[in-house]
Structure 1
Amino acid sequence: MTAGLPVLLRLALRRDRIMLPVWLYALVASVAGTAVSLRQLYPSQGSRDNLALSVNANASLRALYGPLYDTHSLGALTSWRMLAIGPVMIALLSQLLVTRHTRAEEESGRLELVAAGAVDRRAPLTAALITAGSAGLAIAAAVLALLLGLGQDAAGSLAFALVFPAVGLLFAGLTAVTAQVTQTARAANGLAGAALGAAFLLRAVGDAAGSGGPSWIGWLSPLSWAARVRPYGGDHWWALGLLLAAAGVEIAAAYLLLARRDLGGGLLPQRPGPATAGAELGRPLGLAWRLQRAALRAWAAGLIVFGFVLGGVSKGLRQLINDTPETAQILARLGGTTGAVDSYLSTCMTFLAMAVAVYAVQTVLRLREEETGGRAEPVLATAVGRLSWAGGHLLYPLLGTVVLLEAGALAMGLGTGAVLGDTGGWIGRLLAAGLVQAPAVWLFAAAGTALFGLRPQWTTGVWGLLGLLLLISFLGPTLNAGHWLLDLSPFTHVPRLPGGALHAAPLLWLSLLSGLLAAAGLLGLRRRDLG
């Protein structure tokens, strides 16, 4: 297992030298921003107690954030708020790392070349797991230092910090298993992502049920185990042990499966395709649809569920604001300008657009994957031109993002109408709110297109740009950042609907800038060598 491991581990860390610091900064900054904003919003014990009463008495708020167990310290509030999203973020990071260094390498053929040397077959998987585990420990160390610097209890801070590597290792082990049973990186990520989505849903259902319903459902989710660590509110170390034990079982299963399959193959049989290709695959647009449709459908399903849940929480938000008016202050900075519910829904639409921006970047990067994987060259060797080939793929970040925004907005309108009434009115307002987010999302896709055409070796750098601007959009308003910093994010310039005024000028400028960047990328694609 150790033959070749040090070299592969150094290689993995070198390849991730940009991505890992960005994720580390994002997670630690999220914890810091959450702590600062909560200290401003709930400075007194009375306001914190009112918050706990409102959250624990409202099923929709428990589904979104989980129950609030303790209010006697800033650390307790911070851990409650971050354990709703932090474990999901570290789980995503772990999944990406393991897939990137195992199944993706195997799919590209590079792992076969590596295995031809003096390298143990288990070394690549071991290097990927160590990389994921090291990332979790680095985040834990930074979070622990931050909380101790804020004067929080050492035991509670340690318990909270250790949740990150424990959850990360568990989902790293899960992804290691999916990488053995599938033959493509996309399929491995898809299975692991579906498991993460199911875990989030089970956690939400279990927390919403509370003591008066089937709360046992939450125990089926490892994300619920993470919340039951209860930092600063009991410090249940056994819950951390449960996470680590499950991770150990998954990792052991991954090694067993690795020993029972051929290199390049998977345990799940591949479905044979038709003997002859359909007529639509003879055109660039048809080929692009065949390659992009699975991702579009999966994103649409996830955003529909996400939008409906966010809309359903709106009634609980009104109660929360009535009981704790401090919450309205931060919502006014994040969202619209008229009414607490409008502010909340405007904020939700911004978060929805941020998620769609990830899809937009993902679809643009498919062009680079096709090029580096050697699949673009046979297509372009025919009568298909470069612009036609690229245009077929770019149709999805252009129109597919609109479909996703409207699907999420429609679901949000249905959820809001179900709890507040006037379903038709809410649907119409939120569909408009989703549509105005499209130019901001297009800008990220255009930036990726420009890098792909002009500097293809830098194409993946668009992830760093996306992460930085999303971090500004997410944390900037809660930290009262200056306008010069907030203006760097395209989402700052989008009209705050529902509730705000509709201004066409920023939408036109964002669309024009996106068009110029995309045109520059396509022009560069025509002039450069492939590969």
Structure 2
Amino acid sequence: MTTARLLLHRHRMMIGSWLLLLLTLLGGTVWAYQDTYPTAGQRDAAVELARADTATTLLYGELPLPGTPAQMYAWEIGGITTILVSVFAVLLGVALTRAAEDDGTLELIRSCGVDRRNPLRAAIAVIACVATALAVGTAAVTGTWVGDVDGITGLGVAAFGAALGLTFLLVGVLTVVLAQLTSTAPTARLLGLTAVAAGFGLRAVADVRDIGALNWLSPLGLRATVQPFTANRWWVLGIYLAAAVTLAWVAGLLYERREYGAGLITRSEIRDVRLPVRSALGLRMRLARRSTLIWAAGVAGLGALFTAMGSGVVEQSRDGDVGGFLGTQLGGTDPVAAYCAYTATLLAMVVSAYSILQVLRHREDETAGRTALIVAGGVRRWAPLLAQVATAVAGSAVILAAAGAAGAAIASVTIGGDSPAVRMFTFVTGQWPATAVMAAGAALLAGIWPRAAGLAWLPLVAAGTLALLGPLLNIPQRIRDLGPFQQVSDPVAATAEWTGPAVLLLIAVTATACGLAGINRRDLLAG
């Protein structure tokens, strides 16, 4: 337990920030579903449209009948939160295991004479504690609306909280298993996020094709299998809990069978060729080349998928038949522009995660001693961090361009209206300044306060909440207009405004400069 307390203390800011944001999102949106559809007729029409629309089913799953406010809340907000919880689980699982091994933390712990299996057990214990806190917190913040929102019951909120907490536990322990296969934290993180994407795809196929049995194979399908506020199937939780325990046991077996600092999957031999790297920027770009191409392919595919589903949504929006969460996103005067902006926001959030991860690798390189080796070669101490930021910003531009091109190609043949291809490409690529701001925020923390680098995810979650849930939470328009993802103007509009992107780039440059100045005023490995 001493090791578990140490890991919990070390990552307390990351854990606390994520829990605060998730619980605020869950507790602050319940009431909106009672007010959005005040009459049964309006609610029945919205439920019918939601169940018939492939796009919403793909995103959130199948909406259960009769579609009470509680069921719609668990369907929409539960779908969004499940993805956020899964990403959180991957980041924490890698931070507690492979990242701690890479930076020497676990080596220091083991040098004190503790059992070699103790760090792994402590990591799983911390994941279990966070899962419990998430489950209890979700039940608490949602349970405050019992009696005030139709369908919110004590058993329902308990089942909903348990489903989210168990989702976190499953993904977290699965990430620990994957971390035993690879020898670096970035690769383990990539494997974990790939597993989340695969789980989302499996859940989407299960709901779109009406193959409910497939949901049993995906951690992200746990919410649909438990059916909170509908059937409250408690026995399902026991099966998934047993699966989590089994995964933890597998992680222990794999941990015993590999060398410390290595993975079970051996890395391919490095080719004996010269690598003409002449600067810190060239080194970083070479190292990030493969992951950037993988992200570009994945995000481009995601953009094409969302664009392909846009035709039906745009037509329904023209008729005023789209309600609920998606209806608030398409509430603009032009449904084509509104849907392009909505798709671009989703893609920008994914690319922002890429840019943050790229910059946060500077902290990993610093703690592992690689930055010191570079600086010892005569490179200025701020150059490695600047190289990380430049790589993240350039990589984000490449990924957004690929996604914008894919979306534009699909939009030209699937979405009717005025210049859908131009709009899709412009809205997607126009989010580049927003992703640059996210990278700059991570650079600011990495330079000034590296121990709190995990807080770099706060601006992304806050900006995403403001963009996606601002209308649902009745946040004033003037505040929503300040969000980083709301700064792209419609290129077809008569008065296109580009002040917002320019201000975002100015903020990004300023934050990066402050981070570079901060790293010059402190010692490496100090915060």
Matched, 1:434 2:428: yes
- Aligned residue for 1:156? 156
CA offsets 1:173-229 (integer angstroms, 9 cap, x no match): 21121122211112222212111111111111221112xxx6655543232243121
Q: CA deviation at 1:115?
A: 1.0
Structure 1: runs of 5+ lacking an equivalent: 1-5
Distance 1:380 1:411, change over 3 A: same
One-letter code of the match for 1:242? I
Q: Distance in 2 between matches of 1:331 and 1:59?
A: 12
2:392 is aligned with 1:393? no
Between the aligned partners of 1:187 and 1:156, the Cα distance in structure 2 is: 38
The answer (yes or no) to whether the contact 2:336–2:420 under 8 Å persists in 1 is no
Counterparts of residues 56-455 of structure 1 (less than 5 Å): 56-151=51-146, 152-210=152-210, 217-279=214-276, 281-318=277-314, 320-321=316-317, 325=321, 327=323, 334=329, 337-386=332-381, 388-420=383-415, 425-455=419-449
C-alpha change, 1:529 and 1:109, in structure 2 (3 Å) is closer
Percent identical pairs in the alignment equals 32
Q: CA deviation at 1:456?
A: 4.2
User: Unpaired segments of 5 or more residues in structure 2?
Assistant: 147-151
Question: Which secondary structure state, in structure 1, belongs to the residue aligned with residue 313 of structure 2?
Answer: helix
Structure 2 SS opposite 1:84: helix
AA of the residue aligned to 2:286: R
Whole-angstrom distance in 1 between the partners of 2:409 and 2:32: 30
Q: Is the 8 A contact 1:50 1:323 kept in 2?
A: no
In the alignment, is the contact (CA less than 8 A) between 1:331 and 1:340 conserved in 2? no
1:467 and 2:464 are equivalent in the alignment: no
Check 1:150–1:497 CA distance in 2 against 1; reply closer, same or farther (3 A cut): farther
TM-score w.r.t. the length of structure 2 is: 0.89
In 1, the alpha carbon distance for the partners of 2:492 and 2:127 equals: 40
Once residues 257 and 468 of structure 1 are traced to their aligned partners in structure 2, the CA distance between those partners, rounded to angstroms, is 37
- What is the CA distance between 1:402 and its match in structure 2? 1.6
Q: Report what 1:35 is aligned to.
A: 30
Q: CA 1:231–1:455 in structure 2 vs 1: closer, same or farther (change >3 Å)?
A: closer
Q: 1:410 to 1:56 in 2, by over 3 A?
A: same
- The one-letter amino acid of 1:348's match is T
Answer yes or no: is the 8 Å Cα contact 1:413–1:427 preserved in 2. Answer: yes
1:290 counterpart letter in structure 2: R
SS of 1:182's equivalent in the other structure is coil
Q: Deviations over 1:339-371 (max 9, x none)?
A: 234213212212322222222222222223222
Task: Please list the CA deviations of residues 496-528 of structure 1 after superposition, one character each: whole Å capped at 9, or x if unmatched.
Answer: 567694212222222223223323333444555
- SS of match in other structure, 1:117: coil
Structure 1 residues 364, 527: CA separation in 2 closer, same or farther (over 3 Å shift)? Answer: same
What's the CA shift for 1:387? Answer: 5.3
Cα root mean square deviation, aligned:
2.8
Alignment of 1:480 with 2:474, yes or no, is yes
Match in the other structure for 1:512? 506
Structure 2 contact 160–223 (Cα < 8 Å) conserved: no
148-157 or 216-225: bigger deviation: 216-225
- Opposite residue 381 of structure 1, the aligned amino acid is A
User: Displacement, 1:252?
Assistant: 1.2
Amino acid at match of 2:444: A
Partner residue of 1:18? 13
What's the offset of the Cα at 1:476? 2.6
Deviation at 1:163, TM superposition (A): 0.4
Matches of 2:237 and 2:451, distance apart in 1: 41
Q: Which amino acid aligns with 1:234?
A: A
CA distance in 1, matches of 2:29, 2:371: 45
What's the secondary structure of 1:228's corresponding residue?
helix
Instruction: Work out the CA distance in 2 between the residues paired with 1:513 and 1:365.
Output: 19
Contact conserved, 2:463 with 2:483, CA < 8 A, in 1? yes
Separation in 2 of the partners of 1:255 and 1:459? Answer: 29
2: CA distance, partners of 1:90 / 1:503: 35
| Other structure's SS at 1:439 match | helix
Mean Cα deviation higher: 425-434 or 483-492:
483-492
Moved more, 476-485 or 144-153: 476-485
- CA distance change for structure 1 residues 224 and 46 in 2, over 3 Å: closer, same or farther? same
1:52 equivalent to 2:47? Answer: yes
Q: More deviation in 97-106 or 50-59?
A: 50-59
Q: What SS class does the counterpart of residue 35 from structure 1 fall into? A: coil
Counterparts of 1:23 and 1:497 in 2: how far apart (Å)? 36
Question: How many correspondences in the alignment?
Answer: 520
- Which amino acid in the other structure matches residue 30 of structure 1? L
Q: Secondary structure at the match of 2:58?
A: helix
Asked whether the 8 Å contact 1:336–1:347 carries over to 2, the reply is: no
Residue 469 of structure 1 contacts residue 488 of structure 1 at CA under 8 Å; is this kept in 2? no
Question: Within 2, Cα distance between the matches of 1:331 and 1:95?
Answer: 27
Alpha-carbon displacement from aligned partner over 1:80-110 (angstroms, at most 9, x marks no partner): 1133232222222222222111111112222
Distance change in 2, residues 1:438/1:335 (3 Å): farther
TM-score (norm 1): 0.89
Indicate conservation of the 8 Å contact 1:345/1:498, yes or no.
no
**Residues of 2 paired with 1:88 and 1:94: CA distance?**
10
Residues 390 and 137 of structure 1, relative CA distance in 2, 3 Å threshold: closer
